[in-house]
Amino acid sequence: MAASWPSRINMPEKLKLLSWRDIVYIALPSLLLIIAAFWLAAQFIKPAPPSQLIISTGGEGGAYQRFAARYKDVLARYGIALVEKPSAGSTENMERLRNPEFEVDAAFIQSGTARPGEEDELVALGDIYYEPLWIFYREAALHGADKLLDLKGKRVAVGGTGSGTHYLAMELLAANGIDAKNTRLIEAGGLGLVERLRKNEIDAVFVVGPTQSALVWMLLYTPGVRVMNLIHAEAYTRRFPYLARLVLPRGAIDLTQDIPPHDVQLVSPLATMLVREGTHPALIDLLMQAASEVHGASGVFQKPAEFPRAGHGEFPLSKEAERYYKSGKPWLQRYLPFWAATLIDRMVVMLLPLLVVLLPLVKFAPQIYGWRVRSRIYRRYGELKFLENEINEEPGRHSRAEWIEKLDRIEADASRIRTPLTFSDMLYTLRGHIDLVRDMILRRTPA
């Protein structure tokens, strides 16, 4: 069976039927609108995460340094290099974060050692573990000591300047009326304190850190050294809200050697991590995952999965951390490699122009084009109707030749209309009506 006549029209002939002026009028504004939408979306695309994260830790052999090493292993699995910058401790870490000239992204901070400032652009990732305050003393010098007042007049190491230990020790000692005027306060920290205790150079030391801290562990096993059981522990938590009361059960460190030989009451700040607001969100997500892996196990003072937690610190919680506590690991990272998940997360913004602009244009642009084509045909219909009314009302107003000339102009205009095949029926109907008006002119007017 022979193909119908529209199917026999080749592509060049079909293109001739299109109204390129209409296409340009529709396509150009549409193109400009799409470009503007993509440009606007591009302003919200997050840059690719950097390949390294700089973190300020603490002193040699301290808990901050130890945990940072474990964070480093976790981040390395995702292709991120963790750069550690040792410091004196929490106070110096805070100074580094607040110094815009110091290159650092995150830092370990001891709760209570800092308050938010007006110009701070820092957010917290929540509490990550307990940092108990341990007060170790030589049993020969302070037999059975159970309160800070027992340290008055003694030689006490209160931690190095810039450390969280020093900050907390000075606050608690001041609350008991102990200062440099009535007690010899030695600003020193580190593993060297063990030897100084053995040599009778100091009587007591303040140490802040978990049981895994090298200094805490060594002092717990040092002969002749005891950890103070603070009978005022609950009172300190009421006076200093950032402190928590902990109990170290008898034998919790070593059952065979019965360390400690009795329950010990301690006070403890909480370790947290602060990051600058400009830190890439993907890196914050990785830090949260590392914190869960490193600090989520059970311990002497914590239950499984107790940390990290949102907490109620002085600094606002990061949006990424808040989302992590609610939903866990980002959805894309559960099924894709880190690099692929971050790439898709960044590029998903570019899908918005497709949904908001491009799809409606695809739907409505053909309708607008059709409306423009039909409007030109309707305009000739209007001219034809106006001419028909004139002939009916005053057929003698013009001669037959003049009426025919007016009609021919309408027909000539109609023949020049470019119409796709879809609108051919409308054009042929118009020409049929033109012929009807021509017949009417011939009937109503003299030759």
pLDDT digits (tens, 9 = 90+) for 263-308: 999 999 999 999 999 899 889 999 999 999 999 999 899 999 999 9
Name the 3-class secondary structure at 400: helix
- Rounded distance between C-alpha atoms, residue 431 and residue 429, angstroms: 5
Of 391, 378, 380, 386, the residue nearest 441 (C-alpha): 391
Higher pLDDT, 365 or 175: 175
Q: In terms of DSSP H, where are the helices of 186-280? A: 192-198, 214-220, 233-239
Of 101, 8, 11, 106, the residue nearest 57 (C-alpha): 106
CATH topology (fold) of 50-128+272-329 = D-Maltodextrin-Binding Protein; domain 2 (3.40.190)
Work out the average pLDDT over 29-34. 72
Q: Two tokens at 371?
A: 């409306």
Higher pLDDT, 366 or 320: 320
Same fold for the domain at 50-128+272-329 and the one at 132-268?
yes
Work out the average pLDDT over 186-194. 92
pLDDT above 70 covers a percentage of the chain that reads 86
pLDDT band at 431; cut points 50, 70, 90: confident
Give the β-pairing of 155-157 and 184-186.
Answer: parallel
Work out the average pLDDT over 360-380. 75
Buried b (16+ CB within 10 A) or exposed e, 169-208: bbebbeebebeeeebebbebbbeebbeebeeeebbbbbbb
CATH, domain 132-268, list 3.50.50.60, 3.40.190.10, 3.90.550.10, 1.20.1240.10: 3.40.190.10
Work out the average pLDDT over 158-176. 94
pLDDT digits (tens, 9 = 90+) for 214-265: 899 999 999 999 999 999 999 999 999 999 999 999 999 999 999 999 999 9
**pLDDT over 70 (residue 184):** yes
* Residue at 177: amino acid letter: G
Higher pLDDT, 426 or 316: 316
Residue ranges per domain, the chain? Answer: 5-40+351-444, 50-128+272-329, 132-268
- Rounded distance between C-alpha atoms, residue 95 and residue 170, angstroms: 19
Work out the average pLDDT over 34-43. 65
